[in-house]
Amino acid sequence: MNMKTWVVVSTVVLTAIAASTLAASSNFLKFGSAAYTVVVSQANPQGPPQYSYTAWWGSDIAALALGTTPTDSQVLALAMNCDSSAAMLVVYDTSNSSIMTTVAQTVSLDKVQQADPVTGITNQERFVAVFNVQPAGNLAGGYLTMAGRVHLDSNGCPTAVLASRDRDPLDKVVGDEDVARLTHTRPAPAQRSGQAHFIGVLDVISGGQTNTVLIPSGHFTSCQPLN
């Protein structure tokens, strides 16, 4: 595999969550997503240790969390409340417009904002968030640290804009890449709400043992609204 080649997916991940959190999720704005990540695990357990690099597609992660192949209607979504004080990575079922479960939820989220120089209205923010991964299936837990940006509407809530408007000259500098435009599904999403990149750790259960899987590089595009 050429590790420099972008592999993009509409990632699907499922996990368990407390009922109270799901009930509160109605106050969150949801956006579909595309994501790509390279993971590193330990190989050659019977000899000198070696790195094992793998590009993870959404179906791979979904298989870990579900123990089965998810349907095409189940998509990974970013859910964020209106004041951007909390966020979740959830699985959203587009066939019945409902949240199935939560993949990860923030334990901290900080942001800085920017106003439109013409209107003076605050219309963008950059954030850094730490997520705890919820145990489910063959995922025992873990954490993700995500840094990105999101558009805001006139009320200060996260919103999506035309993909052609979703541009920031500093994206490349801070490590963000547009992965949605490279998805295998055509046409590409017409709307986007922002870009992000992430690192972290997933604790994966395999063969009765819990193994550490590192995510040294991941990219995430927040796309069309799902509300």
- Residues 96-148 pLDDT 10s: 887 777 888 999 999 999 998 888 989 999 999 999 999 877 888 999 999 99
As given in the structure block, the two tokens for residue 68 are 């089965």
pTM, two decimals, is 0.83
* CA 198 remoteness from chain centre: 8
DSSP state of 86: -
- Per-residue pLDDT tens digits for 51-66: 999 998 765 776 677 6
Report the distance separating Cα 61 and Cα 204, nearest Å: 10
DSSP state of 164: G
Report the distance separating Cα 120 and Cα 142, nearest Å: 40
Looking at this protein, which amino acid is placed at residue 159? T
DSSP state of 64: H
How many other C-beta atoms are found inside a 10 Å radius of the C-beta of residue 6?
A: 13
Is the model's pLDDT at 67 over the cut of 90?
Answer: no
Report the distance separating Cα 139 and Cα 147, nearest Å: 23
Is the model's pLDDT at 20 over the cut of 60?
Answer: no
